[in-house]
């Protein structure tokens, strides 16, 4: 196995999909020029829009969304594996889905993942979120090969549900992707702790590209994109919420070694109660 140079893109997406796609494309190009072979963007790369009516007006079926064509062409041109952390798309059941899309170096879609856990929370001070009112939850966990890496796909609020990552790791994933748009209160309190916990529990790398700052729709996100190693160490991070890029090298052998040292993934036991 060889190491893979990766890059995470931190954004501050707004309400104009064309501008957001242009911003993402420019940063992806820069990351590829700097040697990254796997590049990941944050949740809702092409649109951060809290107004559900405005969101519904913009969402199109997946086969005509310009973002999909643009990013597919970009992956092909740059000869990279490109994970668009998520896009708001119209699903098969006539409801929106929050979907990660992985493009291979030939521009073909390697895998998609629809966010399973919906962000339905009330943080106080009038900050309320009901993601399930807009999005259809996903039902399928996804593991996909990217060169020497096996990725387990997830999105943002999924990170609070450890069982998902255990299932992904037991299915062979050595790298967990967590593209996010964390709120500032929860990001300040929980972001790093949750990411490191998922890495430690599963002996996996965790890649977490994030949205950051105050968005056009009024939402404020935490930023602070991170790469966590399989021993729970912070390998790289942005200490701010401004747009930017984060680089690291991923060595799958180190994840395998961490699992040899602490074989928690094979230590399940049946128990009774409560």
Using omega within 30 degrees of 0 as the cis cutoff, is the peptide bond preceding 274 cis?
Answer: yes
214: annotated active-site residue? no
For residues 3 and 48, the answer to whether their CB atoms sit within 8 Å is: no
The catalytic position among 43, 110, 150, 254 is: 43
43: annotated active-site residue? yes
Cα gap 138→118, rounded to integer Å:
9
DSSP 3-state of 148: coil
150: annotated active-site residue? no
Cα 256 off chain centre by: 22
The catalytic position among 110, 115, 150, 254 is: 115
CB proximity list for 141: less than 8 A, separation 6 or greater: 113, 116, 152, 153, 164, 167, 168, 171
129 φ/ψ angles, rounded to the nearest 5 degrees: -135, 135
Q: Which residue has the tokens 């965790």?
A: 206
The catalytic position among 110, 150, 156, 254 is: 156
For residues 196 and 213, the answer to whether their CB atoms sit within 8 Å is: no
Pairing, β 244-250 against β 143-146: unpaired
Catalytic residues: 43, 115, 156
């Amino acid at each position: 196995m060889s190491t893979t140079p990766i890059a995470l893109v931190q954004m501050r997406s707004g309400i104009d999909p064309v501008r957001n796609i242009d911003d993402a494309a420019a940063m992806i190009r820069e990351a590829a020029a700097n040697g990254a072979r796997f590049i990941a963007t944050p949740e809702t790369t092409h649109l951060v829009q809290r107004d559900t009516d405005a969101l519904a007006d913009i969402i199109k079926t997946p086969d005509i969304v310009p973002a999909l064509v643009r990013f597919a062409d970009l992956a092909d041109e740059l000869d990279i594996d490109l994970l668009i952390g998520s896009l708001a798309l119209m699903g098969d059941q006539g409801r929106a889905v929050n979907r990660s899309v992985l493009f291979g170096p030939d521009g073909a879609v390697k895998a998609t993942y629809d966010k399973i856990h919906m962000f339905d929370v009330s943080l106080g001070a009038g900050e309320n979120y009901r993601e399930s009112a807009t999005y259809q939850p996903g039902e399928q966990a996804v593991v996909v090969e990217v060169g020497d890496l096996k990725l387990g796909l997830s999105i943002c609020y999924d990170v609070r549900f450890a069982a998902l990552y255990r299932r992904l790791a037991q299915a062979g994933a050595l790298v967990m992707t967590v593209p996010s748009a964390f709120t500032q209160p929860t990001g300040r309190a929980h972001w790093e702790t949750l990411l490191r916990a998922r890495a430690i529990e599963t002996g996996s790398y965790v890649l977490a590209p994030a949205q950051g700052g105050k968005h056009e729709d009024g939402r404020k996100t935490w930023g602070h994109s991170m790469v966590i190693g399989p021993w729970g160490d912070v390998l790289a991070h942005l200490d701010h919420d401004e747009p930017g890029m984060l680089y690291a090298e991923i060595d799958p052998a180190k994840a395998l070694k961490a699992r040899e040292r602490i074989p928690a993934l094979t230590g399940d036991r049946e128990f009774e109660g409560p």
